[in-house]
Amino acid sequence: MLDQLEAIRERFDEVAQQIVQPEVVSDQKRFMKLSKEYKDLEKIVVQYRAYTQLLEEIDNAKKIIATEKDEDFRELAKAELDELVPRRETLEETLKEMLIPKDPNDSKNVILEIRGGTGGDEAAIFAGDLFRMYQRFCDRMGWRMSLVDYTEGTSGGYKEIIAEVEGEDVYGKLKFESGVHRVQRVPATETQGRIHTSAASVAVLPEAEEVDVDLNMNDIRKDTFCSSGAGGQSVNTTYSAVRLTHLPTGLVVQCQDERSQLKNLEKALTVLRSRLYEIELQKHNDAIASQRKTMVGSGDRSDKIRTYNYPQSRVTDHRIGLTVYNLPAVMDGDIDEFIEQLRIAENAERLKEGATA
């Protein structure tokens, strides 16, 4: 582990020198790439420096215990050693976790897609509730969320809503949200007071950059139309909304959130790239999943991952068996505990794999 950490420190020093070179500063793409690498390496190097300092302190305490003749000094050194050793063990665990190879997509922005499933109007209302939950979570994280497209439900909520989320490590945190979310409650439309079960599906796609997907514009048919709001009313009279059809796969993407056709085209292309990227990513994940079945799951959007039970104020994540009884807070965006526990479960599996490899 120490050799690995030393190699990271050396690379960190290299990047620190490169990042201030005039030719790098003037090349925005290279500068941004190196800045990100610097930031990622710095987190590990800070902990590594703290660890080496701690090892020195432990060595000094051991030397005093072995050589010092003054009993009081030796007792002080023993007390210090009793404090330092547990700190070393904690820091070693932190460093081991940091050295687990990261999913290269973790730092990417995402395309968030939520669709009402079984349950008709109530499913659309629940899809709207989930969207607001993610909106509030994104606000708390300091991320930027922007709408791409949506279809409103007849009694509220959304039959489908698509948004782009930008920020730091967005996919790394939101990727566990992909799957079927189930709700158990008395719908607003229910007159007999019976509890219904409805569902909405969530898909979290890592936002693909141009370098990730080779998109041939000759394979895309572009259609334009007037943006429409609630009730089919025209938002504007110009053909600013864009619909793209990827002819080889039949994938259709549309964006009508922006007033500018060019901006809608850019957003639609981003979504299309991300969906094509996800198809390839899913093939890759399926190949891995055929070798091992992870506790956290494959990220398959058909997996039932979480249940929101309103009468009991209960939320259960079925992948890790975590249940909390604070549903109002969860629906207000407090999903940190689920994300953290799922991340821990994934890291534990990766450590296990590393140990058996």
- Strand segments, DSSP code E, in the chain are 110-116, 144-152, 158-166, 179-185, 196-206, 220-225, 241-246, 251-255, 304-309, 314-317, 322-324
Predicted pLDDT at 328: 96
For 82, the 3-state DSSP assignment is helix
Q: Could you say which architecture CATH assigns to the domain 217-287?
A: 2-Layer Sandwich (3.30)
349-356 long-range contacts (CB < 8 A, ≥24 apart) are 349/294, 349/295, 349/296, 350/100, 350/101, 351/96, 351/97, 351/100, 353/292, 354/100
Burial class from Cβ neighbours inside 10 Å (0-12, 13-18, 19+) for residue 103 reads middle
Residues in the chain, pLDDT under 70: 101, 189, 210-212, 227-238, 284-302, 350-357
Predicted pLDDT at 228: 63
Nearest Cα to Cα of residue 258 among 148, 112, 113: 148
Report domain 1-99's class: mainly alpha
Axis crossing angle, helix 71-98 with helix 336-356, rounded to the nearest 10? 90
**pLDDT tens per residue across span 293-347:** 444 444 445 678 999 999 999 999 999 999 999 999 999 999 999 998 998 888 7
CA distance linking residue 335 with residue 113, whole number of Å:
18
Q: Which residue has the tokens 């994300």?
A: 339
CA distance linking residue 79 with residue 73, whole number of Å:
10
Domain ranges in the chain?
Answer: 1-99, 110-210+295-355, 217-287
- Which amino acid, one-letter code, is at 272? L
Predicted pLDDT at 354: 55
| Dihedral sign computed on CA atoms, order 229, 205, 348, 82 | negative
* H or E stretch at 41: helix 28-67
- The reported pTM is 0.67
The CATH number that domain 110-210+295-355 falls under is: 3.30.70.1660
Whether 110-210+295-355 and 217-287 share one fold: the answer is no
Burial class from Cβ neighbours inside 10 Å (0-12, 13-18, 19+) for residue 302 reads exposed
Tokens of 140: 């708390």
Q: Residue 70: how many CB atoms within 10 A of its CB?
A: 9
